[in-house]
Structure 1
Amino acid sequence: MSVLAPDTVRAELERILASAAFDASPRNRQFLRYVVEETLAGRAERIKGYTVATSVFSRQADFDPQVDSIVRIEAGRLRRALERFYLMAGPGEGPRISIPRGSYVPVFDADPWPATGGPGLAFCRRAPAILVRPFDEEGDQSAYPHFTRGFARQILVGLTRYTELFVFGAETALSGEAGAAGLDPDYLLTGGTSLAADHFRADLLLTEVRTGRCVWGESFTRRLDPAEILHARDDVASAVVRHLAQPYGALFAHKAQEVEGRPGSDLTAHHCVIRFYQYWRTFDRAMFDLLRDDLERATQREPGFADAFACLSLLYVDGYRYGYATPHEGGGSLSRALILARRAVDLAPLSSRSHHALGMAYWFQRDVSSALAALETGLDLNPNDTDVMAELGIRCAILADWNRAVPLLEGSYARNPAQPSGYRMGLALWHFWHGRFDAALQEARKVDAPSVAYGHVAVAVAAAELGMREEAARAIDALRRIQPDYLSRAEADLVGRNLHPRLVRMMTDGLAKAAAADAAQPLTGTG
């Protein structure tokens, strides 16, 4: 039992239950009250799945928690609702109430917040809050009376799959003027739909609340076919979500301006995540060490922010696969990556980014089946996450599973042309497999990762196969500047990356031709 005065705990309980920031169902409100009162009464040892199920969720005496998982599921929702409450409302005068994972017994923390000069909300918010206003309706929509509401709902569903965002909809208690002021959102999404006889149009505008500046606007038009209207509506909603929320989208671009020139000690964990995705565009070696240190500090300062753990895990994977880690770290980078990825999944099991990190850690430990399963889970959780889509695509390409790889890779770039160019290596491998060396070279040239060997490898091989000796030689020179001994260990390296045996042979044979071109003196012609 807590040593705190019961009245102070009850006062905090009532503050939570009375707040619009506590987004929990009536039953979960009863769940919270039940476990708090039982703990205050000295009966914490009785708080088990069975007693919660029968006392709160009206289950019968024959309730079996192994068969019926309602308490576990609702406890997860209650934990998230409590976390969101404290992020939005900030600390009160009483203790913080939480329910640790693996237990239903609440904890009352008398001093849960580090000292800070700013308000609780500003300190605790890790990522942007976006409020979706009711959309205007133009034209005669009587034939489709719920079209606009459904469109807004699909946007909300898509945005909430990016678990790092705080997303609030028009139909919540926070959507009115007073609620919006209390929430203090960073951005407002407004807009409208118009329906005509043969098409519909959606106009969207994202506004920064603090400045009133319009930071993004777009219009979308689709043909209006009554048989396909829901599909077309949802397709536009998904496009809106991708434009806004994915890395390199509108929110990323706007928040990235806050990061420029700021020292790591002045960055929140969310800022570190933004800086990570700036690095992720080209895998810039010059950013690696400082960024890793920043993310390490961020995970210590904000140990509940899953995205920081996921990005740090991906960074440790890069340290291994690109040779950025120091020699004494060696394979320890992968062990650290796996621990961090599992922590990210524990913190945010519904985050596609967490499963992306887990998949990469498994892949380079050569657990291919677990890696693919993790990436597939991530894509199922958020079909709009083009990074996960492309990552799954390039892994399938490495395995020469072209029926899966090519649609994923081409689809990812169609949905997000601004995503990192390194994924184009998967398309280059596809063309290599089919002997289309000119197309492979075109894809390899698009890879903008000068600190990484593999774009240079692909260019060297394709150029050598096409007889373009000068370009092949330049690529070999670039490769040697990055990894001087790479040619001598290329086969072992490619095998260790799970590359299909036929592709390993093609790459090593092509590298031998390119190396011969580099050795030839003088170089003549371009083939």
Structure 2
Amino acid sequence: MFFRRSASADELSDEVARLLASDRFAKSSVLSNLLTFLHERSIAAPGEVTTEYLIAQDLLDRGADFDPKVDPIVRVRIRRLREALEAYYADHPGPVRVTIPPRSYDLKLKIEEKRHSDPRTLAAIGGSLLAALATIAIGIAAYSYFLRPIKDGYPVIKIFSVQNLTGDESLDIFQFGLQRQLGSDLQKFGKFRVLIMSDNSLDLDADYTLRSNLLALGDELDLSIRLETASDETLVYGDRFRGPVFGQDYYETIRAISRTITGQIAGQGGPMMRQEDAEDTQGELTQASLLPRIGVGRDVFRCIVLKDRFFDDYDPEAFRRAYRCFEQVLPNIGDDPIALTSWGTLIFHAVPEFNLMRTEALSPDMLWREDTVADAARSIAERFPHSPDAFLLLGSVQNARGQLQEAEISLRQAVELNPGNSTGHAVLSYLYLSQEKFASSIASAEVAIRLSADPQSFIHLPIVISALVLGDDDRAIKAGKAYVAKRTGNGATAIRLIVARLENDRAEIARLTPIVQEMDAPMELYALFLRGEQTREAIREALPEADLGEPPTDP
């Protein structure tokens, strides 16, 4: 016997992620786009009714004169989506399913759970449950609790409740709301074990402590944050957030602040990864040093740190160290989504056809085939539909292969699952550049920059190219300088020359022009994203020396 319970937005998102990752939906952009649209609508406007006109105009680009009596396209697509959902659940039966009720265009999530009817069973369960609840209550009062478990060996962050220093006791609810939101958002990165402290006086083992003070909350918010090492209280990250409360919506304010804080702390190249880099890599990190010191789990995390270090400047030697590190631990990461996606992201860059780095500098055993990496990315996303990094990897591979519609679905799913991850927004900006959606490319890249404590150089490139196409010279110059500040090689030199020409820096133009003229293909590393004619024409005009060759062919 079953009963239904109400479903949360997160549960609906999780189930939609599973659907989008399935073969049935991955192979149909029409079904995926409609499902994604209805899901995003349910998140953005909960409780509002989705109409046939809304779908026609906002998703299908029908005009104001749309007449459903003449054009039945919405009803046809909704019917096909219902049929696809029924077929999926026929193959994947279970208590959770997404439905579209009759005479409705809104997604609903049904969750059925077994109800036990034997009173003796109920009594036994009731007694056990009361005992368990009593134990849990005592435990929470005296100790603390982990959010959903992450593999052993990953750093532990102890999050204390916010100290309300406003003098207004009615704001105490904000203390625990922000604490839990920070914990939830940090957990989405998958790289850290998050320990929520219900009693700030307790002394439990951790690698880091995160403390915050609420200084004011009214029309304006004033909040200070400190992340320190637990062993010696070394400051890793500190900031103070001042600004207006969003329309007096404290919950949205908490979410926005938490996304910024966790994105800056835990994102690729952020202060926590830099701290771990400094602690684990004093000097050369040799293969012999990888395994014995702290244990397998910690060594996996060290490999992830080395992978992040590679993305600083795409140095082949940094790639080699990360690659050899992962080779040592591969037998131990089969059930670890963040480790698998990190490994997948690394080998994705070792596909010569994608031309994402100087693969000629790698040894032959480090090179990977395009179809092998694509199969691995899809397999990881299907196995871990809750992992934003899995969809980030899948979307990156799809973008590199020219599967732009599929890539957009995957990357938007990655951003939705972890909106605080700057890398998700950055990779989405590259996709928009490939699609020649220049304003969207700039907007996504700028979100990535705001979410980064120290933005990695690759985030700036889509702004350089998109602003160049749009004739926004000031923005292109600023982004170009940020990009080349940490980059070397032919591509960086070509961008330097573009910036010099935009600034009319004659001395720099004279110095760089002959250097770029001697290069065979100065923009070669960017070719995957220079697909559209508008983009290529802007590059030819700014850099006539660049032989762009033929645009990448779509599959």
Question: TM (normalized to structure 1)?
Answer: 0.65
Distance 1:139 1:436, change over 3 A: closer
1:264 aligns with 2:290: no
Superposition map of 1:177-256 within 5 A = 181=204, 184-195=205-216, 198-223=219-244, 227-256=248-277
Q: Is the 8 A contact 1:398 1:426 kept in 2?
A: no
Q: Deviations over 1:168-214 (max 9, x none)?
A: 2235xxx6877x64xx3222223332446654433333332333444
Q: Is the 8 A contact 1:204 1:218 kept in 2?
A: yes
C-alpha displacement of 1:392: 0.5
Distance 1:234 1:473, change over 3 A: same
Q: Give, in whole Å, the separation in 1 of the partners of 2:359 and 2:424.
A: 23
1:287 aligns with 2:318: yes
Aligned to 1:120: none
Superposition map of 1:5-16 within 5 A = none
C-alpha displacement of 1:413: 1.2
Aligned to 1:458: 495
1:69 aligns with 2:102: no
Higher relative contact order (CA 8 A, sep 6+): 2
Q: Give, in whole Å, the separation in 1 of the partners of 2:190 and 2:317.
A: 29
Q: Give, in whole Å, the separation in 2 of the partners of 1:228 and 1:124.
A: 36
Distance 1:192 1:429, change over 3 A: same
C-alpha displacement of 1:480: 7.4
1:352 aligns with 2:373: no
Aligned-residue CA RMSD (Å): 3.8
Counterpart amino acid of residue 403 in structure 1: A
3-state SS in 2 of match to 1:446: helix
Q: Give, in whole Å, the separation in 2 of the partners of 1:141 and 1:310.
A: 45
C-alpha displacement of 1:378: 0.9
C-alpha displacement of 1:391: 1.3
3-state SS in 2 of match to 1:315: helix
Aligned to 1:379: 415
Which of 294, 306, 311 is 1:275 aligned to? 306
C-alpha displacement of 1:418: 1.1
Counterpart amino acid of residue 486 in structure 1: A
Which of 174, 181, 189 is 1:154 aligned to? 181
Which region of structure 1 is more displaced relative to structure 2, 297-306 or 148-157? Answer: 297-306
3-state SS in 2 of match to 1:295: helix
Aligned to 1:485: 520
Counterpart amino acid of residue 161 in structure 2: P
Q: Give, in whole Å, the separation in 2 of the partners of 1:150 and 1:239.
A: 16
1:299 aligns with 2:330: yes
Q: Give, in whole Å, the separation in 1 of the partners of 2:439 and 2:546.
A: 30
Q: Give, in whole Å, the separation in 2 of the partners of 1:154 and 1:333.
A: 41
Unaligned runs of 5+ in 2: 1-88, 98-108, 110-149, 291-298, 548-555
Q: Is the 8 A contact 2:306 2:318 kept in 1?
A: no
Q: Is the 8 A contact 2:457 2:487 kept in 1?
A: no
1:431 aligns with 2:467: yes
Distance 1:475 1:338, change over 3 A: farther
3-state SS in 2 of match to 1:277: helix
C-alpha displacement of 1:145: 4.8
Superposition map of 1:332-343 within 5 A = 332-343=368-379
Q: Is the 8 A contact 1:441 1:459 kept in 2?
A: no
Which of 152, 159, 164 is 1:137 aligned to? 164
Counterpart amino acid of residue 459 in structure 1: R
1:168 aligns with 2:189: no
Q: Deviations over 1:5-37 (max 9, x none)?
A: xxxxxxxxxxxxxxxxxxxxxxxxxxxxxxxxx
3-state SS in 1 of match to 2:248: coil
Counterpart amino acid of residue 216 in structure 1: Y
Which region of structure 1 is more displaced relative to structure 2, 251-260 or 225-234? Answer: 225-234
Unaligned runs of 5+ in 1: 1-62, 74-122, 516-527
C-alpha displacement of 1:293: 2.1
Q: Is the 8 A contact 1:202 1:221 kept in 2?
A: yes
Q: Give, in whole Å, the separation in 2 of the partners of 1:149 and 1:278.
A: 34
Which of 537, 543, 546 is 1:505 aligned to? 537
3-state SS in 1 of match to 2:225: strand
Q: Give, in whole Å, the separation in 1 of the partners of 2:543 and 2:246.
A: 53
